[in-house]
Structure 1
Amino acid sequence: MNNIPFYLAAFLVVLGVLIVVHEFGHYLAARLCGVKVLRFSVGFGRMLWKKQLGKDQTEWAISIFPLGGYVKMLDEREGKVAEEEVHRAFNRQGVGKRSIIVAAGPLANFALAILIYWAVFMHGSEELLPVLGTPPVGTPAAMAVIGNGEQVRTVDGQPVATWNDLRWMLLQKAVDHESVALEVINEREEIAVRHLYLAAAGEQGWEGDALERLGIRFYRPDLPAVIGKVVANGVADRVGLLPGDRILSIAGKDVASWYELVAIIRDSATKSIHLEVERQGQIVAVDLVPEAVSERGQTVGKIGVAVADGPKPHREVRTFISYGVFEAAGKALEETWDKSIFSLVMMGKMLTGEVSWRNLSGPVTIADYAGQSARLGLDYYLKFMALVSISLGVLNLLPIPVLDGGHLLYHAIEVVMRRPLSERAMEIGQQVGMSILFALMAFAFFNDLTRLFNG
């Protein structure tokens, strides 16, 4: 519950920035094309605040319903226009100018994403290296004989620099490819090629973690379940666990590594569990109840212990990566383009049934991701903002009446027919578009509630 105000604030900042940028794209294009702007509103419905500014006395407003915004332009279809201002009405402009004004909103979202990526890539950040962990038995990664500590060098010949790069490349490949070749290097500097089959990634309609289904996990050093430190007055301290204790089993299940121990305890919040502990050659029985702790919006169990150092140094898994001005610009363009195309491909697969509609996210899920990324750091938060900006740009270009793409479709028809669509045809289109949009919003919100209550 303590996370709600923080997550809500993170969400509202993202939402506010993206709406302002989108609508400012329309506004700026309208001004450059000589069209008079009557109102610039962040949000819909009843206005909470407004102020008139500039030579045209444009009304700048904040309205009560925050999921969107609009730019109202002078238009003879919406009211009487003074004779001396008719030339500044939107409907009097040529189809080219009208299309520029309509397209400027989504283009502004793409431009924002490029700018964010450019700044983040130039500033640089500490990234995880693409070092793989031991895959679960029976997964495609296990069948590919991927070993713990192997670092991926290339995916189908394409160089891989970071763990995020690896995740993104595998997701892209999994959409249309049956398998990929991973060139890996182990801790002994031995190079090998692992052939990873990708069909498992989409087995559940792409719902959940596709890479987990492939068995792709980040590297974890082989650490025994030996306690190195006990937090004073914590659960472990109160039941008498000591530094040097080796956990042999929990609830009758043998524990082979520290990560197995952590996984079981995290899933056992407020539940009584029985441990068998080896202490100086003796077996000691301990019963305890892990404390429930909120972590990134989830409730997990903790007992207040830390792992003992392993017998050997572990391989490096982090690196700092930054780019020069021009290299960062190129990478920002590439990142924006790749994610835009991926969004379109996934939307297409939703329409064909290859991808589940349960992947559609609404404001609750987006707010959750906004809060999680903000907690991880500014660079993660900015990258999240860029991703949502791309999604907003792609969504608005879909040829659905009401959206910008729908208006561009009208303009394309006008060019072909050499005359505008009739008012009646556009009115029907608007009604159909609103129905589609409300259905999508309702479905996304239903998915949000399902995730919220079912996990």
Structure 2
Amino acid sequence: MGFLYSVVGFLIAIGILVAVHEFGHFWVARKLGVKVLKFSIGFGKPLWKTVGGVDKTEYVVAAIPLGGYVKMLGEGDPDAPVLESEKHRAFDNQPIWKRSLIILAGPGINFLFAILLFSILGLQTVERLDPVFGQAPLASAVSLAGVKEGDRLVSVDGREVDFLAHQQLYIMNRVLQGSDIEMQVLSGGSVRSVTIETQGIPIYNINPGSMMYQLGIVPPSPPITSEIHHVAPESPAESAGIRQGDVVVSISGQPVESWRELSTLISPNPGKELEIIVQRSGLNKTFLITPKATPFNGGEIGVIGVRPKPTSYSPDQLVSVSKGPWASFMAGLDQTWQMSTVTLRMLGKMLTLQVSHKNVNGPIMIANVAGQAIQVGLDYYIHILAVISISLGVMNLLPIPILDGGHLLVHLIEGVAGKKAALNFFAVGQRVGIFILIGFMGLAFYNDIFKLLN
């Protein structure tokens, strides 16, 4: 079933996003008086086609769903000569500004579509984590700046914070830039300003979740009891006789009421025998367990191979977030901008080998994520659609001749050096562009398969 969800989720997502992208080219071309001959979603053998409109445009859904195209009159096609009466409607005969607008319309509508989807999601009332700091790692930037557990995050560089992860994309942009962040923090009844230094944050394997943890922007832990939910096979706990459902009462004479206390008493004692008392079926049982030494952050901690019972955040740890239409639109606009700039910066850092190539995902991982999103719910699927739409817009604006950005570069060269120079550049650049795209897709497929196998 997971495979089926992935296929269906992928086909729906790609179908919608390709249709949106190509519609941008199609609509602007028509509005600017250019004749459109064909509108195709997909490549290869047509699965469905029809002809419609005054221009008898051919509309096609083809077999290979990894893209699409809009074919316009006079796009340098020697097999489709332009009649004298229609020369004014040929794409190649349009001024540079018209051709550029038609090319820009594809990526442009991808960004507009993302803004629309984010705006729709923003209209809903949702529960998010209250912007209160949990216990930050000791060496994190937040901890070093003096922020304590229970302090409240008010704003980031003057940007208001509604929930803990509200400005996550903005913060990621600042980390990728290596720029310090000014936070307003409510602590002890008064608001103070703290500077968070980002220079030491490793970015090679960066992702939003790990970045927030490394900075120390972590939520308070949900109230987790000391009940054991899982015992790892062949672990010290299993060898000693600990079972699922046991509740840890004390460790070496120290009372235990929460999982944090359990962890605090076990972690610093690798290789040291501990007396652990658990409650089982109303009776106390005593076990002697030696935590296994496990590498962690350049040192060692003790683990016994147990996991807590899953729990949810309490209502007082959550905040209800809702926005009106204008605020939702502005939030959607900002989210689209932040995500676009993060994507561009990540690509730039990859080229300079500062960020891992493993961040490049291809169709297999997109299908996997889309399949999971369908199972989680419509809201998450819409969010994923918006994210992929932004990626599609950004990728198409790259100055590679076979992409929209490459065509815009050719138009720029034409405006500066003339049409002949632009055609010469395009002839060479197209071959290079195909080579780059094949290499990029090869990397994406390699990463997808590696992630699936591991």
TM-score grouping bracket, smaller chain normalisation: 0.7 to 0.9
Contact 1:14 / 1:370 at 8 angstroms: preserved in 2? yes
Equivalent residue, structure 2, for 1:443: 443
Give the 5 Å matches for 1:8-407.
Answer: 8-75=7-74, 77-78=76-77, 79=79, 80-185=81-186, 189=189, 191=191, 193-206=193-206, 209-226=210-227, 245-246=247-248, 257-258=258-259, 277-279=278-280, 282-283=284-285, 316-407=316-407
* Greater CA drift, 431-440 or 342-351: 342-351
Equivalent residue, structure 2, for 1:411: 411
Query: Hey, what's the Cα distance between the residues in 1 that align with 2:359 and 2:442?
Result: 13
Contact 1:35 / 1:90 at 8 angstroms: preserved in 2? yes
Output the aligned Cα RMSD: 3.5
Return the offset for 1:176. 2.1
- CA pair 324-427 structure 1, distance change in 2 beyond 3 A: same
Query: Hey, what's the Cα distance between the residues in 1 that align with 2:75 and 2:132?
Result: 62
Query: Hey, what's the Cα distance between the residues in 1 that align with 2:377 and 2:428?
Result: 46
Q: Does 1:427 align with 2:427?
A: yes
Contact 2:397 / 2:405 at 8 angstroms: preserved in 1? yes
Query: Hey, what's the Cα distance between the residues in 2 that align with 1:415 and 1:179?
Result: 40
Unpaired segments of 5 or more residues in structure 1? Answer: 229-235, 263-274, 288-300
Q: What one-letter code is carried by the residue in structure 2 that aligns with 1:67?
A: L
Contact 2:140 / 2:215 at 8 angstroms: preserved in 1? yes
- CA pair 240-350 structure 1, distance change in 2 beyond 3 A: closer
Equivalent residue, structure 2, for 1:271: none
Contact 1:200 / 1:213 at 8 angstroms: preserved in 2? no
SS in 2 for 1:77: coil
SS in 2 for 1:209: helix
SS in 1 for 2:67: strand
SS in 1 for 2:63: strand
Query: Hey, what's the Cα distance between the residues in 2 that align with 1:151 and 1:24?
Result: 45
Return the offset for 1:109. 0.6
Return the offset for 1:19. 0.5
Contact 2:41 / 2:65 at 8 angstroms: preserved in 1? yes
Query: Hey, what's the Cα distance between the residues in 2 that align with 1:437 and 1:417?
Result: 27
Q: What one-letter code is carried by the residue in structure 1 that aligns with 2:389?
A: S
Contact 1:201 / 1:211 at 8 angstroms: preserved in 2? no
Return the offset for 1:423. 4.6
Return the offset for 1:447. 1.6
Which digits, 9 at most, give the CA deviation of each residue in 1:222-254, with x for residues without a partner? 5430479xxxxxxx9xx98668x33668xxxx9
Return the offset for 1:303. 9.2
Q: What one-letter code is carried by the residue in structure 1 that aligns with 2:6?
A: Y
Which digits, 9 at most, give the CA deviation of each residue in 1:296-332, with x for residues without a partner? xxxxx9999566x9xxx95722223222222322232
- CA pair 85-193 structure 1, distance change in 2 beyond 3 A: closer
- CA pair 81-445 structure 1, distance change in 2 beyond 3 A: same
Query: Hey, what's the Cα distance between the residues in 2 that align with 1:28 and 1:114?
Result: 19
Q: What one-letter code is carried by the residue in structure 1 that aligns with 2:120?
A: A
Which digits, 9 at most, give the CA deviation of each residue in 1:345-375, with x for residues without a partner? 2222222332222222212222333334444
SS in 1 for 2:226: coil
Q: What one-letter code is carried by the residue in structure 2 that aligns with 1:403?
A: L
Query: Hey, what's the Cα distance between the residues in 2 that align with 1:346 and 1:120?
Result: 26
Which digits, 9 at most, give the CA deviation of each residue in 1:259-289, with x for residues without a partner? 7989xxxxxxxxxxxx9623457225699xx
SS in 2 for 1:218: coil
SS in 2 for 1:201: coil
Total equivalences in the alignment:
410
Return the offset for 1:76. 6.2
Return the offset for 1:23. 0.2
Equivalent residue, structure 2, for 1:294: none
- CA pair 50-395 structure 1, distance change in 2 beyond 3 A: same
Which digits, 9 at most, give the CA deviation of each residue in 1:154-204, with x for residues without a partner? 223332112331322321221224533433336x65655554332343343
- CA pair 94-192 structure 1, distance change in 2 beyond 3 A: closer
Q: What one-letter code is carried by the residue in structure 1 that aligns with 2:46?
A: M
Query: Hey, what's the Cα distance between the residues in 2 that align with 1:332 and 1:41?
Result: 29
Q: What one-letter code is carried by the residue in structure 1 that aligns with 2:49?
A: K
Contact 1:247 / 1:278 at 8 angstroms: preserved in 2? yes
Return the offset for 1:136. 3.4
Q: What one-letter code is carried by the residue in structure 2 that aligns with 1:441?
A: M
SS in 2 for 1:123: coil
Query: Hey, what's the Cα distance between the residues in 1 that align with 2:402 and 2:31?
Result: 23
- TM-score w.r.t. the length of structure 1 is 0.79
Contact 2:129 / 2:164 at 8 angstroms: preserved in 1? yes
Q: What one-letter code is carried by the residue in structure 1 that aligns with 2:278?
A: V
Query: Hey, what's the Cα distance between the residues in 2 that align with 1:240 and 1:437?
Result: 54
Q: What one-letter code is carried by the residue in structure 2 that aligns with 1:157?
A: G
Which digits, 9 at most, give the CA deviation of each residue in 1:107-135, with x for residues without a partner? 11111112112222233433222233223
SS in 1 for 2:109: helix
Q: What one-letter code is carried by the residue in structure 2 that aligns with 1:71?
A: V
SS in 1 for 2:167: helix
Query: Hey, what's the Cα distance between the residues in 2 that align with 1:106 and 1:20?
Result: 12
SS in 1 for 2:127: strand
SS in 1 for 2:60: strand
Equivalent residue, structure 2, for 1:452: 452
- CA pair 227-73 structure 1, distance change in 2 beyond 3 A: same
Query: Hey, what's the Cα distance between the residues in 2 that align with 1:200 and 1:216?
Result: 15
Q: What one-letter code is carried by the residue in structure 1 that aligns with 2:30?
A: R
